[in-house]
Amino acid sequence: MVDVVRAVEPEKLINRVAAYLKNNQVVTPPPWAMFVKTSVAREEPPRNPDWWFVRAASILRKLYLYGPVGVSRMRKFYGGRHRVGMAPPYFAKGGGAIVRKILQQLEKAELVSTVPRKGRAITPKGVKLLEQAAKSIQAGKES
């Protein structure tokens, strides 16, 4: 069986799932979300007002692809090149509070579950959500 989630474009899938998360109020951005940078390596907060939902959908997809993952490893996915004045750039991890809060919200919505000593894993309900979104994207592309 072909993996539908891997077959579709990641950006389209993430945007579709983000729209679902926003419309059904599965996750809600905290009050500080519009002011915070997503990493030490960033200079400004995200320009997209719905970035919290996009990041939540992206985290859900990453959990689908890479199995049980902890907050620390998830921060590496969202890190980037940190430029410090005249010094050579180096890698900096993404913000941990953002990842942690989103995972807690997804866990409350039963899309993610905790695996002891391994991190968080996607639940069958989360897999179903991603696969339905991927199938609807594929159906739209083929017709």
Number of domains in the chain: 1
Q: What is the pLDDT of residue 95?
A: 92
Grouped pLDDT means (10 residues each) for the chain, 143 residues:
84 96 94 92 92 96 94 94 92 95 96 95 96 93 60
Query: What is the residue range of 77's domain?
Result: 4-142
Long-range pairs for 10-17: beta carbons < 8 A, 24 or more residues apart = 10/61, 12/137, 13/57, 13/61, 13/130, 13/133, 13/134, 13/137, 14/54, 14/57, 14/58, 14/61, 15/54, 15/57, 16/57, 16/133, 16/136, 16/137, 17/57, 17/60, 17/61, 17/129, 17/130, 17/133
Q: What is the pLDDT of residue 140?
A: 85
Q: What is the pLDDT of residue 3?
A: 87
Q: What is the pLDDT of residue 2?
A: 59
Q: What is the CATH classification number for the domain harbouring 47?
A: 1.10.10.10
Q: What is the pLDDT of residue 143?
A: 47
Q: Per the confidence metrics, is the pTM higher than 0.75? A: yes
